[in-house]
Amino acid sequence: MSQATNQSWGGRFSEPTDAFVARFTASVNFDQRLAPQDIQGSIAHATMLARVGVLTDDERDAIINGLNEIQGEIERGEFNWSVPLEDVHMNIEARLTEKIGITGKKLHTGRSRNDQVATDIRLFMRDEIDVIEVELKRLREGMIELADREAETIMPGFTHLQTAQPVTFGHHILAWQEMLARDHERLLDCRKRVNVMPLGAAALAGTTYPIDRHVTAELLGFDRPTENSLDAVSDRDFAIEFTSFASILLMHLSRMSEELVLWTSAQFNFIDLPDRFCTGSSIMPQKKNPDVPELVRGKTGRVYGHLMSLLTLMKSQPLAYNKDNQEDKEPLFDAVDTVRDCLKAFADMVPAIEPKKASMYEAARRGFSTATDLADYLVRKGVAFRDAHEIVGQSVAYGLKSEKDLSEMSLDELKQFSDTIEQDVFEVLTLEGSVAARNHIGGTAPNQVRAAAQRARETLSALKAGA
Ligand code: ARG
């Protein structure tokens, strides 16, 4: 360390860093979270350096043992993180040198913090993506099973949040599941570009030591080393891709949350959420609030914010590494934590949704939701669709006045609007008949919902975690 600055890079400096600047530029308070990955990367780097003859086997072993001890100190909370040492990388290296002497200083041969930090974040993201994938799978499975159970349960389907046509509850839940299936593909696609190794790019131009990047990549489980050293130290696309995945996922969870909040209200009264996912009010004793979906809906905003932060962080950076990149960590960490927690909350909650079938059925029955079925009936009897639309419109107007749903009118009442209507109309005016008639792939008929659930199960189990 330099006399003047007490810093590992202080050789060319003649005065110490300003105390505020030291705090302002330090990242250790947040990047210490990367310690396990930093140590993992350093062990692989030292192993490779010994293999190509840059370190002796004894030096390698001393480094690896020292790093493993440091890992233990960190896990036990005994490690003294130092802000003057700036970041996680220098904290660990300084402690290693304290423990094993001069050999500790050899670890940094042939690398720079620039390729080191890029490697650490990628290792971290890979670990987190694998954890997130497990939760995403669990949630999808929960939805598929709920949909299968509720394949026959009838509810109103909405457009413009107005009752449109009856659908099955299972069909509605499988619509959610489709959103998550796309998110799942996006996550796995993002993982491919995360799992590439920057180590060896050094500061920006590579290194003069005879390193073998394939060895390090293999030791760390990366698919391959990065192609270009300038790009390797400066690329954060993978972080932006993850945060876009996270934003779209949270947008989906937020839409689902909105429906759960509506459905639990007394006005809809479609479902019950078990008490363990709700809280009460300190002033209104009757209240049971759907806090979990509300919070998930609320947390969507911060994840969108992180996506904007990262895009803006990168937009004007010239090649190669810039200190700006230190700002990538906090948004990324928070996006990861938020996604993990929201998925866990949903995966626990969705299988516990209790549909109030009678109430859903009644809502579907009340809203003239089989009006399109009546029009289709008339068309099958030879009436032009536009005329059928008009006839049904008049029947609905009559129903509104007389407070009767279409299925509650007598044949004579219906015949006022068209002679074509016969006794068999009542088969299509029932909710069961309406949903069963939409009997094609992607339709809401109960047997189609069961078949779709089965296909979803198969697609899901064909996806291999970490593939
Ligand atoms: N703490 C830095 C970061 O997060 C590590 C890399 C620092 N490199 C440098 N040349 N100052 O990006």
The full DSSP string for 311-324 is HHHHTTPPSS--GG
Give the bridge partners for 166, in sequence order: 156
Considering the domain architecture, whether residues 345 and 422 belong to the same structural domain is answered as no
**One of 265, 281, 402, 461 is an active-site residue; which one?**
281
**What pTM does this model have?**
0.94
Tokens 């700006």 locate to: 324
Average pLDDT over the chain, rounded to an integer? 95
Q: How far apart are CA 247 and CA 218, in angstroms?
A: 32
Considering the domain architecture, whether residues 211 and 334 belong to the same structural domain is answered as yes
- Domain stop point among 107, 131, 146: 107
Considering the domain architecture, whether residues 287 and 182 belong to the same structural domain is answered as yes
CB of residue 114 inside a 6 A radius of ligand 1: yes
pLDDT at 93 exceeding the cut of 70 = yes
Considering the domain architecture, whether residues 42 and 182 belong to the same structural domain is answered as no
Q: Is residue 460 part of a domain?
A: no
The tokens describing 317, both together, are 């950076």
Considering the domain architecture, whether residues 275 and 380 belong to the same structural domain is answered as no
Q: How far apart are CA 379 and CA 388, in angstroms?
A: 7
Considering the domain architecture, whether residues 157 and 211 belong to the same structural domain is answered as yes
Nearest to 97 by CA among 56, 53, 34, 42: 42
Is 172 annotated in the active site?
Answer: no
- How far is ligand 1, taken at its centre, from the CA of residue 114, in Å? 6
CB of residue 117 inside a 6 A radius of ligand 1: yes
CB of residue 445 inside a 6 A radius of ligand 1: no
Helix and strand counts by DSSP (H, E) for the chain: 19, 6
Considering the domain architecture, whether residues 38 and 147 belong to the same structural domain is answered as no
Q: Is residue 442 part of a domain?
A: no
Question: Where does the pLDDT of residue 240 fall: very low under 50, low under 70, confident under 90, or very high at 90 and above?
Answer: very high
How many residues comprise the chain? 467
- How far is ligand 1, taken at its centre, from the CA of residue 88, in Å? 10
pLDDT one-digit tens code per residue, 247-256: 999 999 999 9
- How far is ligand 1, taken at its centre, from the CA of residue 373, in Å? 65
- 102: domain CATH number is 1.10.275.10
**One of 14, 160, 410, 440 is an active-site residue; which one?**
160
Q: Please give the backbone phi and psi of residue 9, each rounded to the nearest 5 degrees, phi first.
A: -100, 15
Is 281 annotated in the active site?
Answer: yes
pLDDT one-digit tens code per residue, 356-397: 999 999 999 888 999 999 999 999 999 999 999 999 999 999
Stated as kind and residue range, the H or E segment containing 334 is helix 329-349
Pocket test for ligand 1, best of 87, 204, 329 (most atoms within 8 A of CB): 87
Considering the domain architecture, whether residues 126 and 87 belong to the same structural domain is answered as no
pLDDT one-digit tens code per residue, 51-82: 999 999 999 999 999 999 999 999 999 999 99
Q: Is the peptide bond before 375 cis (omega within 30 degrees of 0)?
A: no
CB 184 within 8 Å of CB 457: no
- How far is ligand 1, taken at its centre, from the CA of residue 237, in Å? 17
Considering the domain architecture, whether residues 401 and 252 belong to the same structural domain is answered as no
Nearest ligand 1 atom to alpha carbon 89: 5
At 238, the amino acid letter reads F
Q: Is residue 450 part of a domain?
A: no
Q: Is residue 280 part of a domain?
A: yes
pLDDT one-digit tens code per residue, 259-289: 999 999 999 999 999 999 888 878 787 888 9
Q: Is residue 61 part of a domain?
A: yes
Q: Kindly state the DSSP code that residue 268 receives in the 8-state scheme.
A: T
Question: Where does the pLDDT of residue 7 fall: very low under 50, low under 70, confident under 90, or very high at 90 and above?
Answer: confident
HEC secondary structure over 394-454: HHHHHHHHHCCCHHHCCHHHHHCCCCCCCCCHHHHHCHHHHHHHCCCCCCCCHHHHHHHHH
Nearest ligand 1 atom to alpha carbon 88: 1
The DSSP bridge pattern shows strands 224-225 and 162-168 to be unpaired
Lowest mean pLDDT among 29-33, 93-97, 400-404: 400-404
Protein residue whose Cα sits closest to atom 2 of ligand 1? 326
Nearest ligand 1 atom to alpha carbon 328: 4
Q: How far apart are CA 458 and CA 391, in angstroms?
A: 45
> Which residues have CB under 8 Å from 334's CB, separation 6+?
302, 306
Chain-centroid distance of CA 83 in Å reads 33
CB 38 within 8 Å of CB 88: yes
pLDDT one-digit tens code per residue, 322-363: 999 999 999 999 999 999 999 999 999 999 999 999 999 999
Q: Is residue 43 part of a domain?
A: yes
CB 351 within 8 Å of CB 145: yes
Considering the domain architecture, whether residues 164 and 220 belong to the same structural domain is answered as yes
CB of residue 325 inside a 6 A radius of ligand 1: yes
Q: Is residue 336 part of a domain?
A: yes
Considering the domain architecture, whether residues 186 and 91 belong to the same structural domain is answered as no
Question: Where does the pLDDT of residue 466 fall: very low under 50, low under 70, confident under 90, or very high at 90 and above?
Answer: very low
- How far is ligand 1, taken at its centre, from the CA of residue 63, in Å? 22
Pocket test for ligand 1, best of 323, 325, 330, 333 (most atoms within 8 A of CB): 323
**What is the predicted pLDDT for the residue at 258?**
98
CB of residue 27 inside a 6 A radius of ligand 1: yes
Pocket test for ligand 1, best of 23, 85, 114, 322 (most atoms within 8 A of CB): 114
Protein residue whose Cα sits closest to atom 11 of ligand 1? 323
**What is the predicted pLDDT for the residue at 286?**
82
Protein residue whose Cα sits closest to atom 3 of ligand 1? 326
Q: How far apart are CA 347 and CA 452, in angstroms?
A: 20
CB of residue 326 inside a 6 A radius of ligand 1: yes
pLDDT at 402 exceeding the cut of 50 = yes
Q: Is residue 453 part of a domain?
A: no
Q: How far apart are CA 145 and CA 437, in angstroms?
A: 23
- Domain stop point among 323, 342, 362: 362
Considering the domain architecture, whether residues 401 and 298 belong to the same structural domain is answered as no
CB of residue 342 inside a 6 A radius of ligand 1: no
Q: How many CA atoms lie within 13 A of 44 on its CB side?
A: 25
- Domain stop point among 91, 107, 123: 107
- How far is ligand 1, taken at its centre, from the CA of residue 306, in Å? 20
Q: How far apart are CA 378 and CA 371, in angstroms?
A: 11
- 268: domain CATH number is 1.20.200.10
Nearest ligand 1 atom to alpha carbon 329: 4
CB of residue 119 inside a 6 A radius of ligand 1: no
What is the count of structural domains for the chain? 3
Q: How far apart are CA 186 and CA 330, in angstroms?
A: 22
CB of residue 234 inside a 6 A radius of ligand 1: no
CB atoms < 10 A from the CB of 302, how many? 13
For residue 259, give its domain range.
114-362
